[in-house]
Amino acid sequence: MSDTKWEIGIAVTLVALSTVLYYIHFLIFHDIHHISIYLLGDIAFTPIEVLLVTLILHRLLEHRDRKQTLEKLNMVIGSFFSSVGEELLTYFSDNDPNLEEIRKNLMVNNNWDDKEFKNAHKILKNYKYGVKITPDNIKELKEFLNSESQFILRLMENPALLEHEKFTGLLMAISHLSEELMKRKDIDNLPESDIEHISGDIVRAYERLVSEWLDYMMYLKNNYPYLFSLAMRSNPFDLTSEIIVK
């Protein structure tokens, strides 16, 4: 209510000021005809002026809102990779029997530009993802996802994710995989058909995770060099990566 009163007060003040200025103009020049011509011209141009100002302001505000949303979203994505994503990438890649085919395409470094990232995405589209699973590593994955289930749930509740369908799809794939594993009590005696089913769920999450990781690395490279440096030093695909700076 107070905001509305303030706006009305400003509007009344501006109209009154305009009236006073026109009156002063009349007192000085005594030319109502001249005042009428310019007043009519100003009024005639007002719709065009409003249109131009509205379009420009709308675009500026839209750009600012999009930038702010992107910043918030990437903070969420960064939190995901720090807590869950990197660990999952390590698990999946360590059990990927064909990883050497694409490892070199995931060795992100300071010399990469947007073209390099796009080329990596292009190569990965033709890669046949696979994860060799055993009862032991399924148990390990189940335990890890169970420990992070609340964190993943909170991420999915974040309204900022409505702007990022790709990342939401990744979270849904991981959440589904987690749910599938939680419902299986006897991992040691799963039939081959069920192991194959779980493998399909793992591959779905793996494929989406790698793609999202590349996008996030490109974002860090272009916007936050110091965060990108840390991400490079913890690259799960780089066997020579070390956190310690030497």
Cβ atoms 109, 232 nearer than 8 A:
yes
pLDDT at 2: 56
- Summarize pLDDT for 176-216 with one digit per residue, the tens: 999 999 999 899 888 989 999 999 999 999 999 999 999 99
Domain boundaries, the chain: 2-60, 70-233
Query: Quick one: average pLDDT of 87-110?
Result: 93
- Least confident span in 27-31, 170-174, 227-231: 27-31
User: 195: closest CA among 180, 179, 212?
Assistant: 180
Q: What is the DSSP letter of 164?
A: -
